[in-house]
Amino acid sequence: MSARSTAAGVFRRWIALYVPVAALVLGASALAGFALGSAVPLESFPTAPASESDAFFPMELTTTAIAANNLVAMLVMLLGAVSVGIVTVFGLVLNGLVIGAVVGLAVQQVDPLVVAALLVPHGVIEIPALLVVAAIGLRFGRLTVRYLRGLEDELLTERDLREAGWLVAIAAVMILVAAYIEATVTLEIAERVAGRELVGR
């Protein structure tokens, strides 16, 4: 079997259906979070941030801290494999709400272009990685349901486990790359867009 046909099979089994479903859940949750965040006036917080960027950068970000946080999120998505997809959906909803709410609050104090510059450089790698892992949780959940209903002869095949393992490994590498970009590159890009320092250093 050629590498091209293998890749096509992996795409068909894991990506074509489950990634769009995961993206829809994450996107809808992010929109809901954005609506909630935008509706909360900054004046309602007990303590106002010292500067307009402090709320968006509460502490110095490191590659290790960011990677650890996102790898935990990745593992939560994978728990859908043993919860018929429920934990995966919950993780997508929770992450979407948090992302949307943070953006909703940020655009009240930072130019939207700056907010985009703070999210896009690493987000274009991080979000697809999380969606791929979510797809694994969703597919395993669906296979479990089909097996329990007698529609599948095997719960998991060797091919399923092998392909899922490769996808998880690829997603983990993407998470590490995104964490490095977020910690070392994203802020510099955002400051160039803003034309000033965003965090006192």
- Residue 139 and residue 133: Cα distance in Å, rounded? 10
pLDDT digits (tens, 9 = 90+) for 68-123: 999 999 998 998 888 999 999 999 999 999 999 999 998 988 899 999 999 999 99
Is 158's pLDDT higher than 60? Answer: yes
| Per-residue pLDDT reduced to its tens digit, 54-78 | 445 545 679 999 999 999 999 989 9
Q: How far apart, in whole angstroms, are the C-alpha atoms of residue 82 and residue 15?
A: 19
Domain ranges in the chain?
10-40+55-194
Report the C-alpha gap between 54 and 197 in whole angstroms: 12
Tokens of 108: 């009240």
Q: SS in 3 state form for 43-62?
A: HHCCCCCCCCCCCCCCCCCC
pTM for this one?
A: 0.88
pLDDT of residue 118: 92
